[in-house]
Amino acid sequence: MPWTASLGRGSAAVAALVALLAAPLSATAAVSADTAALAPAAGTSELVVVVPLIAPAEAPTLLDAALLEEYTAPDGMLTERLDAVDGTGATLAIDPRILVSIRLLGSTVPDTAAAWLARLASLPNDSFLLRFADADVSGFAAVDALELAAPLSFQFAVDAARFNELPEPPAEATPDPSATSTAPPAPTETPAPEPALPPSDEQLLFWPHGIDGLEWPARGNLAGTGLAALDVAGTAAVLLDSASVDDAAASHLSIDGVSVLASNSDLDDLLEAVEIGPFSASGTTSREAFLAALDDRLATSVGPLIVTASRDENTGTTRLASLLDELERRADVDLVGISTAMQTAPSTGSLSTEPLGDAALRAFEELVSAEAAVSEFAEIVAEPEDFRADHRLDLLSTFTAGTVEDRVGITVAAGTAIENAESILAAVQIAEGSDLLILSNSTGLPVSVSNALDVAVTVTVSGRPLRPLLRLTGGPVEVTIGPGSSHTVYLPAEAVTNGQVSVLVQLRGAGGLPVGTDRVIQVDLQAQWETVGTIILIGLAVVFGAGIIHNILRRRLQARAADSAADDETSSDD
């Protein structure tokens, strides 16, 4: 009996995760060779339906246990999506955010989430992994910055304690009562099981059942330069829509040497209408409109016809499930995986999309610079690599394909990402303060530094008087500021003479990296007041002391006078 059988409630989920993580990382994609090799039966047309398995765009970058339990419940959105494709020939486009989030939970994973992942892995459907958070790569490819469209690491989110659950040791064997020997059995040592190791990034992303190197940008956003960049990056094939290519009837094209699969744009729109609601603009049901258009396209399609379901997670999965079920039952339609289309002979074609506009290109070029600045800025935080990795996932989530399906959307997303980067760069600042009045020769200039990040930062604070009226007697002061807090640093200073002086105060990170905005502090030096104050205090002390002495002497004189009067009275009595 395997040790996983002895685990209690919740541990079966861990066993399922372990089984999914234990597959060899060198495994190749499990494309259905039998399906690809079979020619369509006479009188049937091949149809590819691509269905995305994605999380809501508004969900956090990494899904927590509560959300996953909600999404994978019997009536959860991910369960309903899986129900829709189970038993059909639909091709699955999987957001790796879901896989990573489930696996990161380790022993705390909800049973429903682990069972969902195991069920997904058991399906024979063609599948491929999307970019993390279903991010659109079009803009990054246009400015040759595809490295920004991939996660750096997930180790910042790994909690080792979630992977230390040990299975119960196996129970001792019960002696056989029919045995005749009375000799005690030889003792055997059962080695203690080793705790599970936290998963690597490769294991968290591992999907042995998928087609490698298939890219699916958002509709209409990829231009010629972007396609070339994807080719250089080693992309096996790119899934576009027919409106983006010059041959609307072809489903597989070779464009500048790149393998391009093209879904039918009109059918994509009609399928989305089926998912959204029951009626089309013409008054017929959306389902009837889709099926009528499908029959027309199947009659003229070159190779398997490709249709893609909506990448908006709020569309109606129930209606999609019903449609897929009907297509499976039709004798004249053969629902096949996308690998079948990939293995057909491509026709030569070209892209019909216009290059990204100047505004979009400028936005992405500015974004590349902003991301480089954030990467450099990360050196001041406690764990720079973790900070960069976390930020990269936030960046990818900004470009979720379902929210950037046009040139305006992709430009707006770039602007949002730039604002996010700028807010990080401005999170550590010298707080603006009022002018300072210094009344002593030696003092400390107070400088308040604030940190709006959720991690600690370490910076050095330095100052430079702009007039020789003040001299800073110490060097830069290093300070660590906790997350969401501020700290006041005192720069040792000495007044040379009286007057007003401006002091330039700066923050620097590792290697002299400028941090935040430099500030100028106005200082009013009135060092003579220290001497005047000392004289006044001495004078007050003298006056106060003289008063005390005067009172003592007066009381002594009064006492002597009283004694003398008493003596005179005694003498007169005698």
pLDDT digit string (tens) for 367-390? 999 999 999 999 999 999 999 999
Q: What is the pLDDT of residue 36?
A: 40
| Cα 468 from Cα 191, distance rounded (Å) | 75
Q: Taking 80 as the threshold, does the pLDDT of residue 313 lie above it?
A: no
pLDDT digit string (tens) for 141-167? 999 999 999 999 999 999 999 998 644
| Cα 166 from Cα 1, distance rounded (Å) | 16
- With bands split at pLDDT 50, 70 and 90, how would you rate the model's confidence at 449? very high
Q: Which residue has the tokens 């597959």?
A: 23
| Beta bridge mates, 505 | 463, 519
Do 92 and 51 meet the contact criterion of CB atoms below 8 Å apart?
yes
Q: Taking 80 as the threshold, does the pLDDT of residue 12 lie above it?
A: no
378 vs 10: which has the higher pLDDT: 378
pLDDT digit string (tens) for 492-541? 988 887 888 889 999 999 889 999 999 998 888 786 544 444 444 445 55
| Cα 429 from Cα 406, distance rounded (Å) | 37
Q: What is the pLDDT of residue 547?
A: 59
Q: What is the pLDDT of residue 183?
A: 46
Domain boundaries, the chain: 45-160+197-351, 429-529
Q: What is the pLDDT of residue 277?
A: 72
Q: Taking 90 as the threshold, does the pLDDT of residue 231 lie above it?
A: yes
End-to-end, the C-alpha distance of the chain in Å comes to: 128
Q: What is the chain's percent helix, strand, coil content, to nearest 5?
A: 45, 20, 35
Radius of gyration of the chain (CA): 38
Q: What is the pLDDT of residue 318?
A: 86
Q: What is the pLDDT of residue 301?
A: 80
| Cα 129 from Cα 216, distance rounded (Å) | 9
Mean pLDDT of all residues in 196-213 = 90
pTM of the model: 0.81
User: What secondary structure letter does DSSP report for 408?
Assistant: H
Mean pLDDT of all residues in 163-188 = 51
| Beta bridge mates, 238 | 215, 260
Q: What is the pLDDT of residue 437?
A: 74
Identify the CA nearest to 150 among candidates 97, 90, 94: 97
Query: Alpha helix (H) ranges present in 105-264?
Result: 111-122, 138-142, 201-205, 224-232
Query: Alpha helix (H) ranges present in 380-435?
Result: 384-398, 407-425
Mean pLDDT of all residues in 331-345 = 95
567 vs 144: which has the higher pLDDT: 144
Q: Taking 50 as the threshold, does the pLDDT of residue 181 lie above it?
A: no
| Cα 251 from Cα 573, distance rounded (Å) | 143
Q: Specify the CATH class of 45-160+197-351 in words.
A: alpha beta
- With bands split at pLDDT 50, 70 and 90, how would you rate the model's confidence at 560? low
- With bands split at pLDDT 50, 70 and 90, how would you rate the model's confidence at 432? confident
**Residues 429-529, CATH architecture:** Sandwich (2.60)
Q: How far is CA 261 from the centre of its chain?
A: 30
pLDDT digit string (tens) for 270-309? 999 988 876 555 556 889 999 999 999 998 887 899 999 9
For the chain, give the mean pLDDT: 83
Q: Helices then strands (H, E): number in the chain?
A: 17, 19
Q: Taking 60 as the threshold, does the pLDDT of residue 9 lie above it?
A: no
pLDDT digit string (tens) for 137-147? 999 999 999 99
Q: Which of 21-25, 421-425, 472-476, 570-574 has the lowest mean pLDDT?
A: 21-25
| Cα 90 from Cα 340, distance rounded (Å) | 12
